[in-house]
């Protein structure tokens, strides 16, 4: 009886569905690895002069190649373990080192981008003509593929003797300011007519209306757009690192991996970048929760 | 200070809209004296809320003249001469009750010490002591509306403009708040302009009842209603009360008869 209840609890709780999805993804991934690497493995057997092989040998081979088309999950896990835990963080072979490079540019760019986004939104909400004159440029800026634009920004900034972390942060900011602007414009306009009329009856100034009504009303919108912005910021940094790869970072790891056909290294870097993005979003979500509680939104 | 708080003559307001103009107010003549409790009553669309919003300078009349405390509504608003209570409490959800009641005081630059004192005094006036640190969602609808009345009173304006403040509340809560409001009015000697569509509420609270009719919004009749200032809910059973209520009902029906 209790076992049954335990089992049904497993499926109705959070843990069951999460585990089921993970298992399904890993299983699919293994199947894909076998399928994608089978050709390579057959020619490897041929080259080694081995004329016949069992299915078991073939499968085992596809999951243990040095440069597979699609590395198996355990290969990526081993690489992650090797480069995160077994390597000293100061070494250029350590993913922790590269995470540090990427994250510092991401955070700097995110700070710039969020600040710029909030500033633009404040201007747009208060100066009516700016919405028409500024918004088309802001939208146009996001229609250009960043992969095409990033190298040019890096080169132009290098010409101006701006090097190091700043060009990468600039591209991160370029990607992250947009969601913040859009979210904050909506947030600063979210107070209803009644709430605005109330301040009018006190003949409050525009500045007082901003600080006591528009800004606090926009906070939930701000955090929603910061979550999008911080992830975009990381993507921008990684793209910038493809151009400015000498400094390291996940982008540099991806580039080096593709030069040398080190697919396992590429996938390990992708997973590390995804993990960092999740951690950044979780940090923003935590800040959101703390602020919401202090503002009385938590019930 | 003049004894006539609000003086409107031949006041009209027309809204332009795509399918023709809508006359929200037409030829309003009305004088309200200091210390009066005047109710504006009428069916929806009769312009009672619009008239209140014109007094508050939230709307501007198209023609005619109106003064509030002897000056234009705009100047009166800049002088912060009135407290306005809306249909909904309009409390800011991120502020505590004390923070909401103290909002006008913050805007008007009162000191922290003075703010705390006035917030405490006015929360006591509406029987909300001890709720200073609660957030709006933790209070019932009736309590929220009381907090919004305390907010309107916090900077001690002489004139209180109330737009169906109890419209969304149930009958029992409404009776209780009506009694409290009457006592508050008697205590503070303020002038009150009160919009409602409830006949008993208007008769119970007012010194004069302005019956309005729609299309175009105009004053149909002004009915005096002079029960003693310290009246209680019991007067609603008296023949005098019922007689005035009947006159108001009659007036509302006449105003409506043409459509």
pLDDT digits (tens, 9 = 90+) for A209-267: 999 999 999 999 999 999 999 999 999 999 999 988 888 999 999 999 999 989 999 99
What gap in Å lies between CA B160 and CA B37, rounded to an integer? 9
Chain A residue with the nearest C-alpha to that of B100: A212
Please tell me the least confidently modeled range out of A48-52, A192-196, B105-109, B218-222. Answer: A48-52
* pLDDT tens per residue, range A77-88: 999 999 998 888
Give the CA distances from residue B22 to residues B26, B199, B257, in Å, rounded to whole numbers and listed in that order.
11, 27, 20
Are the Cβ atoms of A203 and B77 closer than 8 angstroms?
yes
Q: What is the structure's pLDDT at B46? A: 86
Is B137 within 8 Å of A194 when comparing Cβ atoms? Answer: no
Contact in structure between A181 and A138 (CB atoms under 8 Å) = yes
The dihedral formed by the CA atoms of A152, A157, A160 and A163, expressed in degrees to the nearest 10? -130
pLDDT given at position A164: 87
> A156 CB near a chain B CB, below 8 Å?
no
The answer to whether A201 contacts B58, with C-beta atoms less than 8 Å apart, is yes
Summarised one tens digit per residue, pLDDT across range A166-180 is 999 999 999 999 999
Nearest to A296 among B80, B88, B94 (CB): B94
Residue B2 CA, distance from chain mean position: 21
Residue A290, chain B, CB below 8 Å: the answer is no
**Segments of chain B assigned to CATH 3.40.50.300:** 4-81+158-256
Distance from CA of A103 to the nearest CA of B (A): 33
Write out the residue limits of the CATH 1.10.3720.10 domain(s) in chain A: 95-294
User: Is residue A230 within 8 Å of residue A284, measured between CB atoms?
Assistant: yes
Q: Both tokens of residue A274? A: 């995804």
What average pLDDT score do residues A176-204 get?
Answer: 94
pLDDT for the residue numbered A87:
85
Nearest to B96 among A213, A217, A296 (CB): A296
Q: Which residues in chain A touch residue B95, judged by CB atoms under 8 angstroms apart?
A: 216, 296
Question: For the whole model, what pTM was predicted?
Answer: 0.84
Interchain CB distance below 8 Å, A212 and B78: no
CA nearest to B190, candidates B79, B40, B49, B38: B38
pLDDT given for residue A6 in this prediction: 56
CB-nearest to A212 from B58, B90, B103 is B103
Q: Is B34 left (phi over 0), alpha (psi -120 to 50) or beta?
A: beta
Tell whether A50 is within 8 A of chain B (Cβ): no
Q: What is the DSSP letter of A210?
A: I
pLDDT score for B229? 84
| Domain at B4-81+158-256: CATH architecture | 3-Layer(aba) Sandwich (3.40)
Q: What ipTM describes this predicted complex? A: 0.89
Where is average pLDDT lowest: A271-275, A278-282, B254-258? B254-258
Q: Note whether A196 contacts B: Cβ–Cβ < 8 A.
A: no
DSSP state of B62: S
Residue B111: burial class (beta carbons within 10 Å; 0-12, 13-18, 19+): exposed
CA distance A251 to A243: 8
Q: Token pair of A72, please?
A: 């198996």
What is the sign, positive or negative, of the torsion defined by CA atoms of A124, A127, A131, A135?
negative
Question: Best mutation site among A187, A194, A198, A294 for testing chain B: the one with the most B CBs within 10 Å?
Answer: A198
Residues of chain B contacting A218 with CB distance shorter than 8 Å = none
Mean pLDDT, each 10-residue run in order, chain B (259 residues)? 83 82 87 93 88 93 90 92 93 94 94 94 90 93 92 92 88 87 89 93 93 88 87 88 91 72
Closest CA to B24 of B56, B1, B42, B49: B49
Chain B stretch 100-129, residues whose beta carbon is closer than 8 A to a beta carbon of chain A: 103-104, 106-108
Identify the residue whose tokens are 């076998």: A34
- DSSP lists the bridge partners of residue A14 as none
Whether A5 has a pLDDT exceeding 60, the answer reads: no
Q: Tell me the CATH number for domain A95-294.
A: 1.10.3720.10
Shortest distance, CA A297 to any CA of chain B (angstroms): 7
B156 touches chain A (CB under 8 A): no
Name B104's Cβ contacts closer than 8 Å, sequence gap at least 6: A202, B80, B83, B151, B152, B154, B155
CB pair distance less than 8 Å for A195 and B90: yes
> For chain A, how big is the Rg over CA atoms in Å?
25
Is residue B72 classed exposed, middle or buried when 0-12, 13-18 and 19+ CB atoms within 10 A define those classes? middle
- Asked if B74 reaches chain A (Cβ–Cβ under 8 Å), the answer is no
Contact A202 B104 (CB under 8 A): yes
Q: Which residue has the tokens 């009842």?
A: B209
CB A79 within 8 A of CB A268: yes
Cα B51 from chain centroid (whole Å): 11
């Amino acid at each position: 009886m209790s076992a049954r209840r335990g089992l049904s609890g497993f499926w109705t709780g959070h843990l069951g569905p999460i585990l089921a999805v993970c298992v399904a993804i890993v299983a699919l991934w293994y199947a894909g690895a076998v399928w994608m690497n089978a050709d390579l493995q057959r020619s490897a057997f041929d080259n080694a002069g081995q004329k016949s092989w069992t299915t078991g040998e073939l499968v085992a081979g596809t999951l243990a190649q040095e440069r597979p088309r699609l590395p198996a999950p355990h290969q990526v896990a081993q690489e992650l373990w090797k480069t995160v835990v077994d390597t000293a963080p100061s070494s250029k072979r350590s993913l922790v080192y590269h995470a540090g490079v990427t994250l510092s540019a991401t955070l700097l760019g995110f700070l710039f981008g969020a600040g710029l986004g909030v500033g633009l939104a404040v201007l747009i909400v208060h100066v009516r003509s700016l919405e028409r004159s500024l918004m088309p440029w802001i939208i146009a800026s996001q229609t250009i593929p960043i992969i095409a634009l990033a190298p040019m920004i890096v080169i132009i900034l290098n010409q101006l003797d701006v090097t190091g972390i700043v060009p990468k942060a600039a591209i991160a900011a370029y990607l992250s300011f947009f969601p913040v602007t859009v979210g904050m414009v909506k947030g600063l306009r979210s107070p209803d007519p009644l709430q605005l009329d109330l301040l009018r009856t006190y003949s409050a100034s525009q500045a007082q209306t901003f600080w006591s009504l528009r800004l606090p009303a926009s906070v939930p919108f701000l955090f929603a757009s910061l979550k999008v912005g911080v992830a975009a910021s990381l993507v921008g940094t990684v793209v910038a690192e493809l151009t400015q790869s000498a400094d390291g970072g996940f982008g540099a790891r991806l580039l080096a991996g593709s030069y040398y056909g080190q697919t396992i290294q590429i996938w390990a870097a992708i997973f590390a970048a995804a993990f960092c993005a999740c951690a950044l979003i979780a940090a923003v979500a935590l800040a959101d929760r703390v602020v919401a509680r202090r503002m009385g939104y938590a019930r | 200070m003049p004894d006539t708080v609000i003086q409107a003559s031949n006041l009209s307001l027309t809204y332009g809209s795509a399918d023709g103009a809508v006359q929200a107010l037409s030829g309003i003549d009305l004088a309200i004296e200091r210390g009066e409790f005047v109710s504006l009553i009428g069916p929806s669309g009769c312009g009672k809320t619009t008239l209140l919003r014109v007094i508050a300078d939230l709307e501007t009349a198209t023609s005619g003249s109106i003064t509030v405390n002897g000056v234009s509504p705009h100047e009166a608003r800049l002088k912060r001469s009135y407290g306005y209570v809306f249909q909904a409490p309009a409390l800011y959800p991120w502020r505590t009750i004390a923070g909401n009641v103290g909002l006008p005081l913050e805007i008007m630059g009162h000191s922290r010490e003075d703010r705390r004192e006035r917030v405490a005094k006015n929360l006591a006036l509406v029987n909300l002591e001890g709720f200073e640190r609660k957030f709006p969602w933790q209070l019932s609808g009736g309590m929220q509306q009381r907090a919004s009345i305390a907010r309107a009173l916090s900077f001690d304006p002489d004139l209180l403009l109330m737009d169906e403040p109890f419209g969304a509340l149930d009958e029992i809560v409404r009776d209780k708040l009506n009694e409290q409001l009457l006592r508050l009015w008697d205590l503070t000697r303020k002038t009150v302009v009160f919009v409602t569509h409830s006949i008993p509420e208007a008769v119970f609270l007012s010194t004069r009842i302005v019956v309005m009719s729609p299309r175009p919004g105009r004053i149909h009749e002004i009915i005096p209603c002079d029960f003693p200032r310290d009246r209680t809910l019991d007067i609603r059973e008296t023949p005098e009360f019922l007689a005035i209520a009947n006159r108001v009902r009659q007036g509302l029906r006449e105003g409506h008869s043409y459509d």
